Amino acid sequence: MDAIRLILTSRRALACGADAAEIMAEVWQAQALAQAIGSRLAVSGPPELRGEALGLTELAGRGCGVLDPPELDLGDLRAAQLTELADARETLLSLGSLLGEVGMALVGMASAADDETTYWQCMEAIDAADESRDRVLEMLRKLAAREESLEENGNQNSPSGV
């Protein structure tokens, strides 16, 4: 399934989470999806993104690691459904939005936490989501610089690009 479609599914599921357990499961799903997207970009994405994509994979993996994994059937794991990453820029824009929403959901959960364990789990997951989002934003910046460079080189090589 296409990355953007999976991200939209995650955003809807996160927004509809009724209780803390559902929200935590969706946060975990979002981090696992970010990890899968980072891995895909590291292997087959634009060369300029590969280092940041590896970093995203690592950070999102840490985001999953600080949370208790939800009890999911393998077919329900969105990251396992990722088969296509058609447009890196659009995927990263959508992923950045998802990670921002994950952070906001976790802030709400942390402020309402009844126990210290949940609070600190949320705090660590907030940190991982924020750092993951920073990586996504850096990859978007690199993509924009790449496109600008390609446009400049294209204008210099064309007869009218004087």
Per-residue pLDDT of the chain (162 residues), as tens digits, is 999 999 999 999 999 988 988 999 999 999 999 999 999 999 999 999 999 999 999 999 999 999 988 988 888 899 999 999 989 999 999 999 999 999 999 999 999 999 999 999 999 999 999 999 999 999 999 999 988 888 888 766 545 443
Q: CB–CB of 122/103 below 8 Å?
A: no
Q: How many residues does the chain have?
A: 162
Q: Would you state the pLDDT for residue 149?
A: 86
Residue 74: what residue type? L
DSSP state of 84: B
2, β-bridge pairs: 84
